[in-house]
Amino acid sequence: MNKKNDTEENLRDEYNNLWSDPDRIERANEDMLLGWHFGFYEKDIKTSKEAMLNMNKYVSHLIDLDSKKSLKVLDAGCGIGGTSILLAKDYPNSKFIGISLALNEIELAKKLKKKYKTDNTDFIQGTYYETEFENNYFDRIFALESICYSKNKNRFLGEMNRILKNNGKLVIIDLFRKRGDFNYYANDLECRLFNKKPYFEKKYTIKTFESDLKSNGFYKIRIKDLVKSSNVKFWRIYGFIINHLYSNLSLKFKHSSFKNNIFSLKCAFVFLFLIKTLLLFYSKVSYFSITSCKKN
């Protein structure tokens, strides 16, 4: 296994904990298993179930899958493999490989592979920063709601360029900020509260990502704001982010030096949560689909 940074270690632990009981998850609704995303709404798509399944069709459209071709497709940050499994059923001639940091996710993905009999899928544990695939290995790569967790998106793009074939297609659907001038003070305050070395997050926006795509050898870049086009619900996006923020802060404070002082803990938690929530809206986070191709 490649050496991971602190962010990757935290993500691995978080998702291992989320999927710590695979038996419980397997007893859940199978549509939830095969549509663990925000969902894609179009005309006549009303329910979240329909929207999540429709998102997988949208992904297949973006990555230009062809039932007559044998393509190699990477799912970068595959989670429990739902999208890859659905696509594999619809495109049996292609090979789908998913990679995730969390061992519990990969184990569950393998169980789902067996359950749905998709022999044209494989799932491996690892980091998308440093894969063990050969140069120019994949025809297509897609990453759904996994790049937002990356602290080094430029490094990710460099690795995707290495393993993608010339003129191969990269598709990303994820959260990005429209404004990047935020979070410096919030990050500094958070690090001081938890006695960690302060860090200052890069002013990273969707425009920055577009620039990084170009500098890493990608062209034919197409970006669509799915919230602005009403294909993704605003309340689902911000509801998820705020809930995720609350959960992460709760876990940090649970293990902080404030745990012996309940009043100080509650005050610090409420203050930091409000600051981060306000800055979240200020940064104008939205949900984008991004397509690009690797230059020859």
- Higher-confidence residue of 124 and 281: namely 124
Whether 151 contacts 7, CB under 8 Å: yes
Q: Is 113 exposed, middle or buried (0-12, 13-18, 19+ CB in 10 A)?
A: buried
pLDDT at site 77: 93
Number of helical (H) and strand (E) elements in the chain, helices listed first: 11, 7
Question: What are 137-172's pLDDT values in tens digits?
Answer: 999 999 999 998 888 899 999 999 999 999 999 999
165-179 as b/e: b if 16+ CB within 10 A? beebbbbbbbbbbee
pLDDT classification of 1: cutoffs 50, 70, 90: very low
User: Rounded to 10 degrees, what is the CA torsion of 177, 223, 86, 137?
Assistant: -100
> 81: left (phi > 0), else alpha (psi -120 to 50), else beta?
left
Dist CA 129 CA 166 (whole Å): 19
Largest pairwise CA distance in the chain: 64
pLDDT at position 193 over 70: no
> Radius of gyration over alpha carbons of the chain, in Å?
19
- Higher-confidence residue of 81 and 37: namely 81
Give the closest residue to 85 by CA, choosing from 121, 52, 59, 57. Answer: 121
Which domains are delineated in the chain? Answer: 6-178+202-232+286-294 (3.40.50.150)
pLDDT at site 284: 86
pLDDT classification of 219: cutoffs 50, 70, 90: very high
> C-alpha 173: how far from its chain's center?
8
